[in-house]
Structure 1
């Protein structure tokens, strides 16, 4: 006995969103920081310089330290 499996066509299903955004609270509410605040630019680039610079600084320190 063959069974028929119903397939759902996801390409033809309309998204059920009551908001023009993907989340009801609006844009930037899912971020743990506020990019619109004053000083965000300096904090962001400070974090990037420290975060990406530490491995290179540690490698240089390990290379040039006396044995």
Structure 2
């Protein structure tokens, strides 16, 4: 499960960063670094709710079996 989350995070980061870089008209190194940072923050914003939902489901399963 941890590997799956890591793979999804890496793919999201690559996809979101690529989209941000493609939207840039004049690409210099600072805007590319900014796009990578923005891609990382977008990845965190997308992954946090998914992780919270997964943890809640795990807790509910554990409580229902007891």
TM beyond 0.5: no
Structure with more helix by fraction: 2
The TM-score with structure 2 as length reference comes to 0.41
Q: Which protein shows a greater Rg?
A: 1
The TM-score with structure 1 as length reference comes to 0.40
* Structure of greater relative contact order (alpha carbons < 8 Å, 6+ residues apart): 2
